[in-house]
Structures are given as C-alpha cells and as structure tokens.
Amino acid sequence: VKIMKLARFPALPAALLSTIAVVLATACLVSLFHGGDESSELLGAVAKKKLEEAVRAAGRAPSTKERAAIEKIVMPIANHLATRMLYTEVAERARANPKKPGHQAMEHVLASSHERSSIEARVKNKLVNIHSGEWAEEVYRKVPHKFRRILPALATQAAHSATLDAFHRLKKQMMLAEKNPSFMKHLPATNPNAR
C-alpha cells in the first residue's frame, strides 16, 4: 500500500494531518490482516467521522508506538470476546433447533450480516463500557489516561477486526472439516467461557 507524504500539504491543519495519518495507517493495518477486502467497511464515512471526532476530543492522535501499545492491550481481549460470542451464538442456535444438524446453525450464523454486526457491537460494548464488566475495567486500567478519549474509536476498529477474524477462522475450520471429517478429532477440547 502506497501512502503519499502528508507533508506536501502544508495548508492543512496539523490536527487534520494527524487524523488523515491515523486513518491511512488503520487502512494499511486492516488491508494487511484482511487482504484489503473489508477495509472499505471499516473506513466508511461514519467510521472516518467518528475517528476524526475522537482524535479531536483527545487533542492529538497517538504516535505509531503508542497506538501499537494500545492495540497490544485491546486486540487479545477483542479476539477472545469475538470468538467466545460467535461460538455462543452458534451453540444457542443449535440448541434452539435440536432436530437439525449443528453445522446448519454454523452456516446460518456465518452467513448472517446481522449476527456479525450484533457480535461486533457487543464486543465493542464489552471493551469500552465500564458497566459491562471486568473486560472494560481491564482495558481502562491498562490504557494510558491521555488516550482514553479515543478508546471508543480504537475499540470500534478492534471489535470489527476481531469479529471478522473470528468469522473467518470458523468458516475455515468448517470448510476443512467438510473436506476431511477427521480434521476436528485432533483438536483439543476447549472451554469458550474460560478466561
């Protein structure tokens, strides 16, 4: 991904330049993780506007090093929550229709954009809403105080990325299991509710 030098635009305010840099850096990260397919969803007009507002409220965008440190705190939690919520949703759908094969529940959840956006919203809520439990408390405890104002924007991006990854991993496992029925036998039993 080629990024033009923002220094060529001296007429733009410094805050706008830093916001543009954050948006471009996010686009690069998302395209690296997702092959560029979903980056347009993440950087839609609403997402850009929310990010710009959050950066303005914080006073400045975090540096690359600071942003990486925040992502290192937020992403493992977001990945865990997204995977756990996805598996819970599949299990609930399978329990609701006990006479149908379990893979149909997986197929339904994986094909539903409503389910994906619902899980993404719940992951974001768990990351930033202090009243939602210990996950948000842990995030706020670890993120530097000066960047807490932009945490909702970063959590939105983390929730989006983690949810897409969780759906992608489950689809991949499902496809491998369809091709090779013994694929799942080598995997150890896990507890999705374990912390």
Dihedral angle of Cα 43, 44, 47, 51, to the nearest 10 degrees: 60
- Give 38-49 pLDDT, tens digit per residue: 433 445 677 677
| DSSP category for residue 9 | -
* Shared-domain flag, residues 77 and 41: no
Does the pLDDT of residue 165 top 90, yes or no? yes
What are the tokens at 94? 């399978």
Name which of 12-16, 84-88, 91-95 the model is least confident about.
12-16
* Shared-domain flag, residues 70 and 28: no
Residue 85: predicted pLDDT: 94
- The domain boundary, picked from 61, 78, 93, lies at 61
* Shared-domain flag, residues 103 and 38: no
* Shared-domain flag, residues 31 and 109: no
Supply the range of the domain harboring residue 143: 64-195
* Shared-domain flag, residues 82 and 118: yes
* Shared-domain flag, residues 53 and 70: no
- The domain boundary, picked from 26, 43, 61, lies at 61
Q: What is the mean pLDDT of residues 140-152?
A: 84
* Shared-domain flag, residues 81 and 51: no
* Shared-domain flag, residues 132 and 83: yes
* Shared-domain flag, residues 185 and 105: yes
* Shared-domain flag, residues 149 and 126: yes
Block residue for tokens 């220094």: 7
* Shared-domain flag, residues 168 and 109: yes
Q: What is the mean pLDDT of residues 133-162?
A: 87
Residue 41: predicted pLDDT: 46
* Average pLDDT, rounded, for the chain: 74
Greater pLDDT, 86 or 34: 86
Residue 156 CA to residue 82 CA, distance in Å, equals: 12
What global pTM score does this model have?
0.63
Which of 148, 147, 23, 127 shows the shortest CA–CA distance to 74?
Answer: 127
Q: How many domains would you assign to the chain?
A: 2
148-174 burial: b if 16+ Cβ within 10 Å, else e: eebbbbbbbbbbbbbbbbbbeebeeeb
* Shared-domain flag, residues 90 and 163: yes
